[in-house]
Amino acid sequence: MTSTSDEETRSARKHREMMQAATDAFIAKGYEGASMEEIATRAGVSKQTLYKHFADKERLFEEIVLATTGQVDAVVALVTSGLAGTVDLASDLRRLARQMLTTLMDEELLKLRRLVIANAERAPALGRAWYAKGFERVLASLSAAFEQLSERKLLRPSDPTAAANHFVAMLLWIPINEAMFTGDTRLRTPSDLKAMADAAADAFLAAYGPAPSR
Amino acid sequence: MTSTSDEETRSARKHREMMQAATDAFIAKGYEGASMEEIATRAGVSKQTLYKHFADKERLFEEIVLATTGQVDAVVALVTSGLAGTVDLASDLRRLARQMLTTLMDEELLKLRRLVIANAERAPALGRAWYAKGFERVLASLSAAFEQLSERKLLRPSDPTAAANHFVAMLLWIPINEAMFTGDTRLRTPSDLKAMADAAADAFLAAYGPAPSR
């Protein structure tokens, strides 16, 4: 059985290498500009091999988008699962905010995000995939966590979806838009990002935390 | 003097028509895809006339961006100036939120926004112009208004820039990203948008409003 497992591993590695080559090509040349031929060359495989793994360019890009958004969701799911048993919500919310921001301010991720937006009208399936599999999945993880916190009376009763939207919004609006518009993903130092994360977590707790006892 | 004034008017009208023709061309073909020749044809002027008004394609696009963001800023400045003398902050914040959202969810504006993001690396001056002249100007108007409200003790003491960021973030994160990623600017009905605006205004007031007396 060893040989089968080795083959699976080799095939999986090749698959991953093709996806990385494609990511590099898309970022360098745009979605329209990167050809399947160039991607095959970058990956060091034949066009046939590339097409055996990915039916066409749109599916290839979609798979990259899903892998990327899946990574983000995994981080958020991990951190939010830790919130359920929190004994210090203020500091755990700051930790969640910092980890989300660090994960999302990744240069390759932001460049892919811009590519998806740029092609949203030409290739609407990509934008919808990013939105549904990335954006909305993160909101769903957060929303579930906030609902549990409301049940424990650590947050005041509220619509958990609105709470999740507002948490993410306050955290990401400035740094993500700055990166989208300036094309520069490194405008903010780690300590800037930390301060922004803390400010968002604190404002969220002021808005959604338990009402002060009177 | 009438003839001079007539001429000025005619020239201003022509200038506006060229800008609209260019906007249509950029939205239809992208920034790279739209040529100065096509823009001149769409506007019904010669290439010489077009170049007399706009030194090159980048300046032309920059002028469109500035005009667009200027309109948004004018609306925000008008509404925030009304906040200074408010006697019902909760309802005036909802009104501000609704008007900002309606102004910003304009289809042409959102398509231009996507174009600017798409070209942020190739034409960074455009993205920086949008960010500085639109995005940051709106934040500055809001920030000044929130500072006055803090002085009147209608908001608790806080960093007015953070307050402005968080207000805009909660208001715009979902509908703007939805439009960017799906390419569809009409997903939300006016009553959806109203509910989103109210939710953002209410969460903002919970976070930044005066602390309840004990």
Q: List, for residues B57-74, the tens digit of each pLDDT value.
A: 989 998 998 888 888 888
pLDDT-derived band at A193 (thresholds 50, 70, 90) equals: very high
pLDDT-derived band at A137 (thresholds 50, 70, 90) equals: confident
Which pLDDT score, from 0 to 100, does residue B101 have?
92
In a domain, B213, yes or no: no
- Do A48 and A139 belong to one domain? no
Average the pLDDT over each of B48-52, B78-82, B109-113 and give the range with the smallest value: B78-82
pLDDT-derived band at B4 (thresholds 50, 70, 90) equals: low
Q: Which of A54, A74, A91 is the last residue of a domain?
A: A54
- Do A121 and A166 belong to one domain? yes
- Do A1 and A84 belong to one domain? no
Which pLDDT score, from 0 to 100, does residue B1 have?
47
- Interchain CB distance below 8 Å, B182 and A211: no
Q: What is the mean pLDDT of residues A77-83?
A: 81
- Do B93 and B156 belong to one domain? yes
Give the number of domains in chain B. 2
Indicate the residue of B117, B130, B177 with minimum beta-carbon distance to A118.
B117
In a domain, A213, yes or no: no
Which pLDDT score, from 0 to 100, does residue A5 have?
62
Which pLDDT score, from 0 to 100, does residue A1 have?
46
Greater model confidence, B22 or A82:
B22
Q: List, for residues A35-73, the tens digit of each pLDDT value.
A: 999 999 999 999 999 999 999 998 999 899 888 888 888
- Do B91 and B18 belong to one domain? no
Question: Cβ of B96: how many Cβ atoms within 10 Å?
Answer: 25
In a domain, A127, yes or no: yes
In a domain, A49, yes or no: yes
Which pLDDT score, from 0 to 100, does residue B95 have?
92
Model-level pTM?
Answer: 0.90
CA–CA–CA angle A37, A41, A45 (5° rounding): 100
Chain A to chain B Cβ contacts (< 8 Å): 115
Q: Rounded CA gap, B71 and A152, in Å?
A: 46
Q: Which of A54, A82, A97 is the last residue of a domain?
A: A54
- Do B150 and B46 belong to one domain? no
- Do B91 and B40 belong to one domain? no
Which of the residues B31, B167, B181, B187 would you substitute to probe the A interface, choosing the one with the greatest number of A C-beta atoms within 10 Å? B181
Average the pLDDT over each of A150-159, B4-13, B71-80, B163-172 and give the range with the smallest value: B4-13
Taking all residues of chain A, what is their mean pLDDT, rounded to a whole number?
A: 89
Q: Which residues of A61-77 are buried (b: 16+ CB within 10 A; e: fewer)?
A: bbbbbeebbeebbebbb
pLDDT at A77 over 90: no
Q: List, for residues B87-107, the tens digit of each pLDDT value.
A: 999 999 999 999 999 989 989
The CATH number of the domain where A126 resides is what?
Answer: 1.10.357.10
- Do B92 and B124 belong to one domain? yes
Q: Rounded CA gap, A185 and A208, in Å?
A: 30
Listed residue (B186, B196, B91, B202) closest to A161, CA to CA: B196
- Do B64 and B43 belong to one domain? no
- Do A184 and A84 belong to one domain? yes
pLDDT-derived band at A96 (thresholds 50, 70, 90) equals: very high
Which pLDDT score, from 0 to 100, does residue A24 have?
94
pLDDT-derived band at A214 (thresholds 50, 70, 90) equals: very low
Which of the residues B133, B158, B166 would you substitute to probe the A interface, choosing the one with the greatest number of A C-beta atoms within 10 Å? B166
Greater model confidence, A64 or A135:
A64
Tokens matching residue A161: 């979806």
Q: Are A125 and A151 in contact (CB under 8 A)?
A: no
The CATH number of the domain where A37 resides is what?
Answer: 1.10.10.60
- Do B151 and B97 belong to one domain? yes
Q: List, for residues B125-162, the tens digit of each pLDDT value.
A: 888 888 888 888 889 999 999 999 999 999 998 999 99
Q: List, for residues A102-128, the tens digit of each pLDDT value.
A: 989 989 999 999 999 998 888 788 888
Taking all residues of chain B, what is their mean pLDDT, rounded to a whole number?
A: 89
Residue in chain A nearest B174 by alpha carbon: A165
Greater model confidence, A32 or B185:
A32
In a domain, B214, yes or no: no
Give the domain range for residue A18.
1-54
Q: Rounded CA gap, B116 and A78, in Å?
A: 35
- Do A17 and A77 belong to one domain? no
DSSP B212: P
In a domain, A214, yes or no: no
Which of the residues A62, A68, A159, A170 would you substitute to probe the B interface, choosing the one with the greatest number of B C-beta atoms within 10 Å? A170
Q: Which of A17, A34, A54 is the last residue of a domain?
A: A54
Which pLDDT score, from 0 to 100, does residue A127 have?
87
Which pLDDT score, from 0 to 100, does residue B6 have?
67
Indicate the residue of B131, B180, B211 with minimum beta-carbon distance to A117.
B180
